[in-house]
Amino acid sequence: MTEYEAYQEHIYYTHDTYCQIVIRHASFDAAHMLAAMWKREISLEDLTQTKIGEQSDQIRSTISAISSLI
């Protein structure tokens, strides 16, 4: 193997390693973003009637406050 071929092989392996690291970190970022999104979401199955009632009461009070301004 000549010196030039050895250098080309070194460049090939260095670039390959760099790409693997970039892809690995991109997958970590994607997993982190998904975990944060799942943490903020509320499943419809987890909502109870009391929570739904609280939300509807808040909406009603907001609508009544807006209608009283008109």
List pLDDT tens digits, range 34-66: 999 888 777 766 666 666 666 677 777 787 777
Q: What is the pLDDT of residue 38?
A: 86
> What's the whole-model pTM score?
0.53
The band of 18, judged by pLDDT with boundaries at 50, 70 and 90, is: very high
The one-letter amino acid code at 69 reads L
CA distances for 66 relative to 53, 56, 58, 63, 70, angstroms? 20, 15, 12, 5, 7
Q: How many CA atoms does the CB half-sphere of 15 hold within 13 Å?
A: 6
2: left (phi over 0), alpha (psi -120 to 50) or beta: beta
